[in-house]
């Protein structure tokens, strides 16, 4: 089964394709099929993921899966949330992973509470007007490390510390990261939903 991934993030594509491979599902990055991106005007992950999935399904005629994920920090009342990808731009930085990490380290410096969560919401639709979207949510409690650690992963991985393991996601091999990460958790839920709903 071919499904369009409503994202141009190659890191997400690689992670999800590896996890979905046992189902016989082939994920195709939306950027390989069309240009443009869905509007993401909402303040919740699930609404933005649904918007992206519907947009990709409409553009391609294929079933679509979208991921909306972000960092929710206790010290900032759950923000940056849906604006995580653009977090650094509000502080004058150009949008990229390294600058996002730098910005969060700077903004959290005066705060004692470094706790938060990474949240991944996956939404799947068979077509743009699918009345029964598949929804999977993965959440993992993290602390923001005081400095970057490790060289793997992408996004905020170098500072996302799992206190129980004493490691950041960037210090973990991919298999271990997928076991514990927010996207790993939402992906396992989505795999089960796909197996029972779309592939049965």
CATH number, domain of 178, equals 3.90.950.10
Question: Sign of the CA dihedral 162, 95, 190, 134?
Answer: positive
Domain count, the chain: 1
Annotated catalytic, 67? no
Q: What percent of the chain has pLDDT over 90?
A: 82
Catalytic residue among 68, 74, 97, 130: 68
Range of the domain at 16: 2-198
Q: What is the pLDDT of residues 97-141, one digit of tens each?
A: 999 999 999 999 999 999 999 999 999 999 999 999 999 999 999
């Amino acid at each position: 089964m071919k499904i369009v991934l409503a994202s141009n993030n190659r890191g997400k594509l690689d992670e999800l394709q590896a996890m979905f491979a046992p189902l016989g599902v082939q994920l195709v990055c939306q950027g390989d099929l069309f240009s443009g991106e869905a509007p993401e005007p909402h303040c919740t992950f699930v609404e933005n993921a649904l918007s992206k999935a519907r947009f990709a399904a409409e553009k391609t005629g294929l079933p679509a899966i979208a991921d909306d994920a972000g960092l929710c920090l206790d010290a900032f009342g759950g923000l940056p949330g849906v604006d995580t990808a653009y977090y650094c731009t509000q502080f004058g930085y150009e949008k990229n992973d390294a600058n996002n990490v730098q910005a969060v380290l700077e903004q959290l410096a005066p705060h004692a509470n470094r706790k938060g969560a990474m949240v991944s919401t996956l939404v799947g639709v068979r077509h743009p007007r699918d009345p029964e979207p598949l929804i999977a949510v993965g959440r993992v409690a993290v602390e923001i490390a005081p400095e970057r650690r490790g060289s793997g992963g992408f996004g905020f991985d170098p500072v996302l510390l799992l206190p129980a393991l004493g490691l950041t996601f960037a210090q973990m091999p991919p298999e271990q990261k997928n076991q514990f990460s927010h996207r790993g958790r939402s992906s396992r839920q989505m795999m089960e939903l796909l197996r029972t709903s779309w592939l049965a």
